[in-house]
Amino acid sequence: MEIILGDITKLEVDAIVNAANTSLLGGSGVDGAIHRAAGAELVDEYGEPKLLQQCYRKCMQIAADQEFDTLAFPCISTGIYRYPKANAAEVAVKTCSEQLQKNGRPQRVIFCCYDQENYEIYQRILSV
Active site (catalytic) residues = 31
HSE value, Cβ hemisphere, 13 Å, CA-based, for 57:
10
The DSSP code sequence of the chain is -EEEES-GGG---SEE------SSS--SHHHHHHHHHHTHHHHHHHTHHHHHHHHHHHHHHHHHHTT-SEEEE---SSSTT---HHHHHHHHHHHHHHHHHHH---SEEEEEESSHHHHHHHHHHHH-
